[in-house]
Amino acid sequence: MKIRKICILIAALLAATAVFGGCSKKEQASSDADKAISVQVEPVQERDITLTTVISGKISPIQEAGVSAKLQSQIESVNVEIGDYVSAGDILFTMDSDSLRAGYQQAQAAYNSSRAGYEKAQQASANAKLNLERNRMLYEQGAISKQAYENMQLQAMDQDLEMASYGVESAQAAVQSAGIMLDNAVVRAPISGTVALVNVQKGSMPPQGMASIVITDSSRVQMDATVSEYLINKINRGEELDVRIKSASSKPFKGRITALSSATASGSMTYPIKIELENPQGMIKAGMFAEVDIATEGEKSVLSVPSDAVIVKGGEKQVFVIEGGEARSRKVETGIDDGKFARIISGVKKGEQVAVKGQNYLDDGSKVKISGQESAE
């Protein structure tokens, strides 16, 4: 009986040990999982890496016309306002032209008179020449005196006709001048575009020394910028670039380099450049701030990792490769780095998974858990 009790007691103790031992193993596994460092990973792969430099500038219209009055006369009408679109030849404003019209009419009358005088002189010259020819034989036969014949010769000369011709030319020039003055009373748009400034009003005199109206063609604009001597030989006329104008759109605009200066700007050590942009919808306005990235160096299809994956410990660059739930430190040699991706010259292979988040908390052999895989497990 005692032996039986002892056996039962031993069996109970063994069962309890097994139960508690199993719990201890589960707790240990759970504790190990809690100690694992959470990381995010990305594969080592080939990429194109380009180094860029950001340059900034201001937007200006490619074509702009400041329209000034060519005469001082009271303004009769103003036909445009700021923001209006005008076509080349449209009337912008008019000025008092009564006196100019009277002057033109007088010049025209003087021309008509001089023209009539010229035609009369032409007829007289023709008659004198005909009379001279008719009396030539009479003179040769002695029927008329030498003095009478010489008088006929004088009458046949074209001096009066030439004077009348000069009078016509002078009168014609006066008509043209008066016509131009009359035309200047009507001020027209020299280009098509948007009215950016109106500095005249009805009843006033046009301003002197400044534009009365400014028209800008906003269908095409340009970015005015400068670059250093380090960059000037890294860009070319005709090269296309993405231009960022945040006040106009969150998306970049396509631009093209249209001008590169071969000399520095006055008082500066930088070279002016111009980048032209199409602006059919008019979203880009003159004066807006613009930025563009200039590629200074690049390599294609090179083995790379995200720049954040590379850390420095003990003065050496390294990444952590994740294998079988553990982090393995790898010393790496890096090359070109654009701030997003770094070229790896040696140390890792294509396809290996490297830690890109949480890597600063890792040591060689650290237990890890990859974010996003816990739920799958």
Q: Is 142 inside any structural domain?
A: yes
Alpha carbon distance 60, 65 (integer Å): 13
Alpha carbon distance 167, 137 (integer Å): 36
**Locus of tokens 């070319």:** 236
Q: Number of H helices and number of E strands within the chain?
A: 5, 19
Q: Where residue 239 sits, what CATH number does that domain have?
A: 2.40.30.170
Q: Is 3 inside any structural domain?
A: no
Q: Do 136 and 260 share a domain, yes or no?
A: no
Alpha carbon distance 120, 123 (integer Å): 5
Q: Write out pLDDT tens, residues 137-190.
A: 665 656 676 666 566 555 656 666 677 677 778 878 888 887 888 888 899 999
**Domain final residue pick, 297, 329, 359:** 297
In this model, does residue 339 exceed pLDDT 60? yes
CA 374 to chain centre: 51
Q: Is 26 inside any structural domain?
A: no
**Domain final residue pick, 266, 297, 328:** 297
Helix (H) or strand (E) holding 43: strand 37-43
Q: Do 129 and 173 share a domain, yes or no?
A: yes
Q: Do 199 and 255 share a domain, yes or no?
A: no
**DSSP three-state, residue 27:** helix
The boundaries of the domain holding residue 335 are 34-50+300-370
Going by C-beta distance under 8 Å and a sequence separation of 6 or more, which residues neighbour residue 161? 118, 121, 122, 124, 125
Q: Do 260 and 148 share a domain, yes or no?
A: no
Q: Is 309 inside any structural domain?
A: yes
pTM passes above 0.85:
no
Q: Do 91 and 194 share a domain, yes or no?
A: yes
Q: Do 202 and 224 share a domain, yes or no?
A: no
Is residue 368 exposed (0-12), middle (13-18) or buried (19+ Cβ within 10 Å)?
buried
Q: Is 6 inside any structural domain?
A: no
Q: Do 91 and 192 share a domain, yes or no?
A: yes
Report the domain count for the chain.
4
Residue type at position 169 = E
Q: Do 102 and 204 share a domain, yes or no?
A: no
Q: Is 7 inside any structural domain?
A: no
Q: Is 64 inside any structural domain?
A: no
The larger pLDDT score, comparing residue 310 to residue 184, is at: 310
pLDDT level of residue 346 (50, 70, 90 thresholds): very high
Name the phi and psi angles at 242, rounded to 5.
-90, 120
Both tokens of residue 337?
């780095």
Q: Is 129 inside any structural domain?
A: yes
Check residue 29 and give its pLDDT: 45
Alpha carbon distance 269, 309 (integer Å): 38
Q: Do 205 and 88 share a domain, yes or no?
A: yes
Both tokens of residue 104?
């033109």
Q: Do 311 and 264 share a domain, yes or no?
A: no
Q: Do 285 and 164 share a domain, yes or no?
A: no
CB atoms within 10 A of CB 70: 13
Q: Do 109 and 151 share a domain, yes or no?
A: yes
In this model, does residue 332 exceed pLDDT 80? yes
Give the Å distances, CA to CA, from 355 to 101, 315, 368, 372, 374. 87, 19, 10, 13, 16
Give the Å distances, CA to CA, from 39 to 28, 313, 362, 369, 375. 22, 18, 9, 6, 14
The mean of the pLDDT values for the chain is: 83
Q: Where residue 77 sits, what CATH number does that domain have?
A: 2.40.50.100
Q: Residue range 195-220: average pLDDT?
A: 91
Question: DSSP secondary-structure letter at 204?
Answer: S
Contact 192, 89 (CB under 8 A): no
Alpha carbon distance 285, 222 (integer Å): 10
Q: 12-18 long-range CB contacts below 8 Å, 24 or more apart?
A: none
**DSSP three-state, residue 114:** helix
In this model, does residue 330 exceed pLDDT 60? yes
Q: Sign (positive/negative) of CA torsion 364, 368, 371, 376?
A: positive
